[in-house]
Structure 1
Amino acid sequence: MSTPEGRPADTPPSVADFAAANLSRATGAGLDLHEYQRVTGELAAAQTERGEIVGLDSWGAAFMRAARGHLARAERATTAISAGEHFRTAARWFHFATLGPNPESALAATEADTAMGRALDLLEPGARRIEGPDFTGWLRGPADAPATVVVVPGLDSGKEEFHDVIDALLRRGMAVFAMDGPGQGALAATTTVRADYHQVIGQVADALGTARVGLVGLSLGGYYVAESAAREPRVAAAVTVSGPFRLHWDALPQPVRDLLSRRAGGQEAARRFAGQVDLSTLAPRITCPLLVVDGGEDVIPGVTDGEPLARLARHGQYVRIPHGDHLLGNARPDWLAAAADWMSAALTEPAPPR
């Protein structure tokens, strides 16, 4: 839900502004910095040549071309490892093709899902696809893992984005379920966002067959995780990253309102959804360990950050990284390893009294 700095919130961004606003998010998701700069730089140059000030109509097509380049490399690869790595990279590019205006967003999301499946077939054949009425995703990690963590994406993210978070949890011996829920990723074209996300997490816990899960939620996923921690008793620990405590529809930047309207199925539905994103009464009901991570440079009009959530929750801890942006992609060393360690300890050490 980030917006470019240095321009009025309701002004449509140029390609250069939009690319800069999403740079740390892209590199945090594993896109190569130089390839990202090359693809977005060519877009910005073409926009300038046409004499346009704003417009992102070519964003999706450009990112899908980059993704298909990696698909072609995968097909030419001489080892399964190389092919799998190219398929995984293609999945990331296809996912980022959905961020800008793109008439083929549904196709891009499907292609991201398919490419990630092909990558895991080669790189992690033990990974399992698990689906339910309102979710889909991949379960990765050892079958005998001591704990399972569910990674929950946000408004315009999906299970193909947060590889560094997933890898950090996997390295600590946990199983990880990376998911798309209503209005997210592979399900965005056929479903709409819902504020009672604990119903979805309940389905996930049922499908995983576990009595305890950890949750990591990023951006709007932070709200989903906190709401679920308050209402789903099987949530044993939770981490939110750049998650909203409250949304104020009238103050949200127009690009965010437009995006939310697309994911909610219309403006009125989006306005109602935004009105439900309020943890004031739910935060005190969170009795499991809770870690809230915010970036000091993540300032989006209409979004109240997570400090009240950590303060009101019974076992809440608050970490604010002063130079961190939205999703803290520019500050990974300051929080990611520590958050993964915190989650591992929270799920494997004796739980605090609820």
Structure 2
Amino acid sequence: MSDASFLSFLDDPGFLAAFVEVSRPRAHGAGLDPYDYDRVTAPLASAHDWPAACAAAGQRYAEAAGRAAAEGRGVTAGEAYRTAARWYHVAGWLPHPDREAAARTAADADEAMRRALAHLDPAAERVEGDGFAGWLRRPSGGPAASRPVVLVVPGMDSGKEEFHTVVEALLARGSAVLAIDGPGQGVLTAGSAPEPDYHRVVGRAIDALADRDGLDPDRIAVVGLSLGGYYAATAAAHEPRVRAAALVSGPYRLAWDELPPFVRATLVQRCGGSEAARAFAARLDMTALVPALTVPVLVVEGGEDVIPGVTNATPLAAEAPAAELLLVPHGNHLLGTALPDWLPTAADWLTGHLTAQR
């Protein structure tokens, strides 16, 4: 089967309506207004129209932000740029045959986020290096004390622009936050492939924090979402500076032949071909990580998160010696249907473990 054939599912009858519906909670979790989401997605006639429609929504918000900035309305400008970043990011949720266009939209999301933070959090610092790029933010107010740090790691088709709510929850509890894109993610989608040994990426990101003021190198945690949950587990198992990890909707293992066409197509494009994608999927198995997972781990799962070919990370809660399970029965994948039921608890858990290690 050719790589291009993996995109044929985009033309299946009923796929567009199903994708719009299943993505609504994810868009809500990413901070998009659900009514705005419906206005953008309702006119779509084909799944092929998704990237352009979402990118156009991002452009409208970016233009509104520019007007607000020119009029001196800084908060409004920052909020509009942040919404633009979210829409540009959502444009990349479907595999796009035009990879150059997809890369440009990811770059637009990154730039909109830069402009949003310039208005909303001018102290935010760009942190980037070999195989990662992101933003370091510190809690507002209070003394410039040595803060714990939580790295936010995205998943298969995600990026740092998606998890504003996670970042804000951690900042509100006193942690500094570094939200990154890694290989094959976000602004690094073009020219790089997903990295199974993501602990190396996390290690380089932690290295880059060494000369930043007000951070405690002995209190570092990772929260990973979707495929990022697996990445967070590898970091907790292999990077000794990581002292705790939260895995949200992470996979325990993948079975390539059972995965939905959407997942296979996304991996094929991001890995650079079908054989590379199969090899990547075969590497994702937490079984070998369990003996090395000795730090506290919180496994966050939604009871309605069922994806063919994906074994959820729930077994890890029973296998790893310091793991706990937070199961929300009505939660879906990424628990966008249940934000109040998991995010405050997970943010408290992470910051609590880091505070206890002071």
Q: Conserved in 2, the CA contact under 8 Å of 1:136 and 1:180?
A: yes
For 2:37 and 2:48, the matched residues in 1 are separated by 17
1:249 aligns with 2:250: no
1:71 matched to 2:62? The reply is yes
Structure whose residues are more often helix by fraction = 2
Change over 3 Å in CA distance of 1:10–1:242 after alignment to 2: farther
Contact 2:10 2:47 survives alignment (8 Å): no
1:88 aligns with 2:88: no
Describe the superposition over 1:259-278 as per-residue Cα deviations: whole angstroms up to 9, x where unpaired.
11111111101111111100
Q: CA deviation at 1:122?
A: 1.1
Question: Is residue 236–residue 245 contact of structure 2 (8 Å, CA) maintained in 1?
Answer: yes
Q: How many residue pairs align between the two structures?
A: 334
Residue aligned with 1:125, SS:
coil
The one-letter code matched in structure 2 to 1:73 is A
Matches within 5 A, 1:63-212: 63-77=54-68, 78=71, 79-102=73-96, 103=98, 104-142=101-139, 144-209=145-210, 210-212=217-219
- The alignment partner of 1:109 has SS state of helix
Show CA shifts across 1:289-316 (max 9, x none): 1000011111011111111111111100
Q: Aligned Cα RMSD in Å?
A: 1.7
Aligned to 1:60: 51
| Aligned counterpart, 1:266 | 273
Q: What displacement does 1:169 show?
A: 0.3
- Cα shift readout 1:62-96 (whole Å, capped 9, x = no counterpart): 11111111111111113111111111110000000
TM superposition shift of 1:12: 6.8
Question: Residue 39 in 1 paired to residue 37 in 2?
Answer: no
Flag the 1:149–1:180 CA change in 2: closer, same or farther, 3 A. same
Alpha-carbon deviation of 1:15? Answer: 2.3
Change (3 A) 1:108 1:167: same
Offset of residue 285 of structure 1: 1.2
Equivalent-residue separation in structure 2 for 1:184 and 1:152 (angstroms):
10
Q: Which runs of 5+ in 1 are unaligned?
A: 1-7, 48-54
Counterpart CA distance in 2 for 1:253 and 1:34 is 28
TM-score normalized by the length of structure 1: 0.91
CA contact (8 A) 2:95 2:265 kept: no
Deviation at 1:284, TM superposition (A): 2.4
**Counterparts of 1:235 and 1:128 in 2: how far apart (Å)?**
21
Q: Is 1:326 aligned with 2:341?
A: no
Quote the Cα distance in structure 1 between the aligned partners of 2:313 and 2:163: 20
1:337-352 → structure 2 map (5 Å cutoff): 337-350=344-357
SS, match of residue 90 in structure 1:
helix
Question: Residue type of the partner of 1:347?
Answer: L
Letter in 2 for 1:66: A
Using a 3 Å threshold, how does the CA distance of structure 1 residues 319 and 117 change in structure 2: closer, same or farther?
Answer: same
CA distance, structure 2, for counterparts of residue 18 and residue 10 of structure 1: 12
Separation in 2, partners of 1:74, 1:251: 44
In the alignment, residue 56 of structure 2 is paired with which amino acid? R
Question: CA–CA distance in 1 between the matches of 2:357 and 2:146?
Answer: 17
Instruction: Give % identity.
Output: 53
Q: Distance in 2 between the 1:239 and 1:9 partners?
A: 33
Letter in 1 for 2:169: A
Cross-structure match for 1:304: 311
2:251 pairs with 1:238: no
